Structure 1
Amino acid sequence: MNKTIKKLRISLAIAMTKLTVFGLRLLNRGGTSLPGKIALKIYPNLLSELSGKFRIIMITGTNGKTTTSRIVAGMLDQSGIKYITNKAGANLASGITTTLISALSLTGKPLVRTALLETDEAAFRTIAPKLRPETAIITNFFRDQLDRFGELYTTLNGVREGVSGTPDTTLILNADDSLCASLGQNVPNPVLYFGFAEGAYPEADESGKTDAAFCIHCSSRYTYSSTTFGHLGHFLCPSCQYTRPAAQIECTQVLAYDNLSSTIEIQMPEEKFSVKLALPGLYNIYNALAGAALGHILNLKEKELVHVLEGFECGFGRMESVMVQNRHLKLILVKNPTGFNQVLKYLLTQKDRCIVALAINDKLADGTDISWLWDVDFEILAFMQEKVGAFYVSGIRAEDMALRLKYAGIPEDGILIEHDENKLIDRLIEASGENETIYLLPTYTAMLDIRKNLKDRFKLKDFWK
């Protein structure tokens, strides 16, 4: 392509993106993906052209991308590094293009030099080689949206292909995930592992290992000396000896754990400290460790790491807490069996009376196949029926969710269906008392709809802010 034409197309792509974002924001729309789609239509190789303008940190994996991104953002803030990020979670090529262009002047000059990009695990294969990130955090791999991602190893191999196209990228990998840890084998990349020390959180449940029960190399069944949840833990293949790699960033103890926070001990390469995480849930400890690993790369010390991890605020729809008429409403995104099971175990830590609502959609962004609901351990909700005033179900597949709860042992008269979002919120408020907690567990598009409703009614921040 002629250099002059190329420059003109890049300039046009930048201008059209900025104009489209401006127009959509005037209409109170997010403007996170459409502008990037227009830019890539004008110049399809735009991401490769933009990569040299930024120091790029990419975060991908099945669960924990958004929360880990927010923790890493705190690490960058603590380091005094200015950056751009796709905070709204638009993590496909179009959303990432919009994000990068928003950090450019009209002439294409970068306004900041660092880009923190949450990246869809299926899109990482093609985006990473174009952007050539300095660092890539890969959180974990679990079965998720079979209609979109396909078989689990398809997703893993796609990410592996992305890694192979970025040999200079520093990889931050989950040592406890046999799939994720394998990405650090036989590669030229610098690798930093994070995970739980052996026995730091003993977990007796063996049922969750079905996602990756067999060795990735020889297909023998793994043995575990300790586990956390799902297939995460200290694994060993007795046949080929593939085993969990040593982690440089480890949780060595879980000192306290409830529905508000977790207090843990973290072993860094050169220091050990205790920290009270400002977010609950066992899975969020992994997110904190991944963020601490990036903090280590940034040369942050104990005091600075603790400051970020203790002051972190939950992101958009991820343990997001909203005060609604003196009720604590917690929005917790659910999207696959392993993540949902961890949310349910988190609910068991609730000590006081609460209300639980589940909103299930089956749009493309949620996954059109909802058979995964039958792999979720809803049966454990029977242990908290005395604390739960009622179980409300909503969304396009509300009836399917109600049926699943019925088979989980929840009495039919304790399952209430409400499709209308406004009425659902009203009923949740009416059913709860002052200072009680409402847990609202939506799939992705249901979360967008409910949060927009909450924003309009209770003046919340826009999701892209």
Structure 2
Amino acid sequence: MRKFFEKFRLGLAIIVTKLTVFGLRLLGRGGTSLPGKIALKICPDIFFKLSDKFRIIMVTGTNGKTTTSRIIAGMLDKAGLKYITNKSGANLASGIATTLISALSLTGRPLVRTALLETDEAAFRTIAPKLKPEIVIVTNFFRDQLDRFGELYATLNSVREGIQGSPESKLILNADDSLCASLGQNAPNPVIYFGLGDEVYPEEFLIANADAAYCINCKSRYEYLSSSFGHLGHFKCPNCGYERPVAQVECTQVLDYDNISSTIEIKLPGEKFAAKLALPGLYNIYNALAGTAVGHMLDLKEPDLVYVLEGFECGFGRMETLPVNGRDLKLILVKNPTGFNQVLKYLLTQKENCVVGFAINDKLADGTDISWLWDVDFEILSFMQNKVRGFFVSGTRAEDMAVRLKYSGIPSDSIFIKHPDTELIDSMIEASKENETMYLLPTYTAMLDIRKNLKKRFNLKEFWE
């Protein structure tokens, strides 16, 4: 009787979820999270029940999850594997439940065998042991949304617990991140590390970062042979000897680097090749290396790896370029100091005149404490001030953002507060000229609102597509 009841609950969860997704899509809503919430209410152990139906690949970490997932999706395509993925970035338990159920028939039969799941760091702790992923990719750890995640090491320990509950998963870890690399210490899991070679660093304006300045084992201060950004680099503890592990997937040279793309040399076991990445930015080099590690694990060869790296499509709001009134609007999600700093450093590579906008919200999904804006190095915008036609701010904390820009040295008459976001977009269009680029840096909920309005006005595809 109990078996019948459990089977009934799973079947009911599948049917109700599919109907909810269908109804929400008819209303023009995403239908990415609510259906999964309903499924988890009906069948709380649904992840256990679905774990044997899919080959699971999970991507977690503070920054780069969505872009890394897009690159891995390209690798799966090239390997000829059909898969389901939470492309919209709905990476909590509810979004993952919706994604997996959408890949089932009404009778519970999987329509595809592989599931690529971007997973929130806090949610990973409980979801991973239930889903038993075959591959786990961890991008990095940085300070992020203190009101939701808490202290940095709490986030690290959440992921560590998830991995300890998944002893058979193959791990792909960032060798340059002392926190991320520590997940491979004494773990029974097979591990592949990725990272930048010693002194491979194409940018200037290096910013010191104390997120993880001290050894995770003995608390002595790390020494660095070289560094890339934040606490990433070739670290070594002079006391206990903990150091950056050898990377099996490594960027050995940055051959070309500008505001459009990067050309890098990648070394794998037994081979080396160059690829012109489809996205610019140092952080995207790390994302490309993580994706390459998965491609290598799938036995893809150099031509296929290069094809994916040079042609993958950017994720929703992650360096997404949208055509707007004869201009390019680049949407770049910002959510924590380290990621924001990397985006600002990317802006410094802009050679032509442009317009820069910020949309800062303080809703739960953004983090209600926006004091982190004062940890962002907006002062470096002075290096490009003569190329920016105007700085526009919007969102529920637009005034706070305007004050932060003023204190960074931006003249008050170059800062424009615009409400609502439709006026923000119109003002940025008006301030720019045809064929110029408009950069818009929103927090998560602001990005959702802006993307929805842009979709209506300019007939763009839905964010979940």
| TM superposition score category, shorter chain reference | over 0.9
User: Residues 300, 121 of structure 1: CA spacing in aligned structure 2 closer, same or farther, 3 A cutoff?
Assistant: same
Shift of 1:202: 6.6
Equivalent pairs, count: 465
Which residue matches 1:88?
A: 88
Q: Distance in 2 between matches of 1:343 and 1:204?
A: 14
Aligned-partner residue type, residue 450 of structure 2 = I
Q: Distance in 2 between matches of 1:243 and 1:209?
A: 18
Q: Distance in 2 between matches of 1:211 and 1:134?
A: 30
Alignment of 1:58-457 (within 5 A): 58-201=58-201, 207-457=207-457
Q: Distance in 1 between matches of 2:390 and 2:205?
A: 27
Counterpart contact for 1:203–1:227, Cα < 8 Å: no
Q: Distance in 2 between matches of 1:201 and 1:422?
A: 39
Counterpart contact for 1:92–1:120, Cα < 8 Å: yes
Q: Distance in 2 between matches of 1:382 and 1:340?
A: 16
User: Residues 206, 323 of structure 1: CA spacing in aligned structure 2 closer, same or farther, 3 A cutoff?
Assistant: closer
Instruction: For residue 183 of structure 2, give the secondary structure of its aligned residue in structure 1.
Output: helix
Q: Distance in 2 between matches of 1:159 and 1:7?
A: 31
Q: Distance in 2 between matches of 1:369 and 1:202?
A: 33
Residues 112-142 of structure 1, C-alpha deviation per residue, up to 9 Å, x if partnerless? 0000000000100000000000000000000
Counterpart contact for 1:208–1:338, Cα < 8 Å: no
Residues 271-312 of structure 1, C-alpha deviation per residue, up to 9 Å, x if partnerless? 100110010000000000000000000000000000000001
Q: Distance in 2 between matches of 1:111 and 1:189?
A: 29
Counterpart contact for 1:203–1:229, Cα < 8 Å: no
Counterpart contact for 1:55–1:133, Cα < 8 Å: yes
Counterpart contact for 1:173–1:181, Cα < 8 Å: yes
User: Residues 220, 165 of structure 1: CA spacing in aligned structure 2 closer, same or farther, 3 A cutoff?
Assistant: same
Q: Distance in 2 between matches of 1:24 and 1:262?
A: 40
Instruction: For residue 77 of structure 1, give the secondary structure of its aligned residue in structure 2.
Output: helix
Which residue matches 1:30?
A: 30
Instruction: For residue 455 of structure 2, give the secondary structure of its aligned residue in structure 1.
Output: helix
Aligned-partner residue type, residue 230 of structure 1 = G
Taking structure 1 as the reference length, what is the TM-score of the superposition?
0.99
Counterpart contact for 2:202–2:257, Cα < 8 Å: no
Shift of 1:314: 1.1
Q: Distance in 2 between matches of 1:237 and 1:226?
A: 14
1:12 aligns with 2:12: yes
Q: Distance in 1 between matches of 2:354 and 2:202?
A: 28
Which residue matches 1:462?
A: 462
Question: Which blocks of at least 5 consecutive residues in structure 2 are unaligned?
Answer: none
Worse-matched range after superposition: 292-301 or 202-211: 202-211
User: Residues 382, 204 of structure 1: CA spacing in aligned structure 2 closer, same or farther, 3 A cutoff?
Assistant: closer
Counterpart contact for 1:196–1:250, Cα < 8 Å: yes
Q: Distance in 1 between matches of 2:173 and 2:67?
A: 16
Q: Distance in 1 between matches of 2:10 and 2:424?
A: 47
Shift of 1:204: 7.1
Counterpart contact for 2:355–2:390, Cα < 8 Å: yes
Q: Distance in 2 between matches of 1:230 and 1:419?
A: 33
Residues 84-104 of structure 1, C-alpha deviation per residue, up to 9 Å, x if partnerless? 000001101110000000000
Q: Distance in 2 between matches of 1:206 and 1:352?
A: 23
Q: Distance in 2 between matches of 1:54 and 1:427?
A: 47
Counterpart contact for 1:257–1:280, Cα < 8 Å: yes
Shift of 1:209: 2.5
Question: Which blocks of at least 5 consecutive residues in structure 1 are unaligned?
Answer: none
Q: Distance in 2 between matches of 1:157 and 1:206?
A: 28
Counterpart contact for 1:202–1:226, Cα < 8 Å: no
Instruction: For residue 53 of structure 1, give the secondary structure of its aligned residue in structure 2.
Output: coil
Counterpart contact for 2:207–2:229, Cα < 8 Å: no
Shift of 1:208: 3.2
Counterpart contact for 1:202–1:227, Cα < 8 Å: no
Aligned-partner residue type, residue 273 of structure 2 = F
Residues 119-170 of structure 1, C-alpha deviation per residue, up to 9 Å, x if partnerless? 0001000000000000000000000000000000000001000000000000
Instruction: For residue 41 of structure 1, give the secondary structure of its aligned residue in structure 2.
Output: helix
> % of aligned pairs identical?
76
Instruction: For residue 211 of structure 1, give the secondary structure of its aligned residue in structure 2.
Output: coil
Aligned-partner residue type, residue 25 of structure 1 = R
Shift of 1:259: 0.4
Shift of 1:313: 1.6
Counterpart contact for 1:211–1:231, Cα < 8 Å: yes
Q: Distance in 1 between matches of 2:158 and 2:29?
A: 32
Shift of 1:201: 1.3
Aligned-partner residue type, residue 459 of structure 1 = N
Aligned-partner residue type, residue 190 of structure 1 = P
Q: Distance in 2 between matches of 1:74 and 1:130?
A: 26
Which residue matches 2:41?
A: 41
Counterpart contact for 1:122–1:149, Cα < 8 Å: yes
Q: Distance in 2 between matches of 1:438 and 1:202?
A: 24
Counterpart contact for 1:36–1:94, Cα < 8 Å: yes
Counterpart contact for 1:71–1:308, Cα < 8 Å: yes
- Across the aligned residues of Structure 1 and Structure 2, the Cα RMSD in angstroms comes to 0.9
Aligned-partner residue type, residue 100 of structure 1 = L
User: Residues 460, 309 of structure 1: CA spacing in aligned structure 2 closer, same or farther, 3 A cutoff?
Assistant: same
Counterpart contact for 1:320–1:331, Cα < 8 Å: yes
Residues 185-238 of structure 1, C-alpha deviation per residue, up to 9 Å, x if partnerless? 001100000000111117776643210000001111100001110000000000
Shift of 1:462: 0.3
Taking structure 2 as the reference length, what is the TM-score of the superposition?
0.99
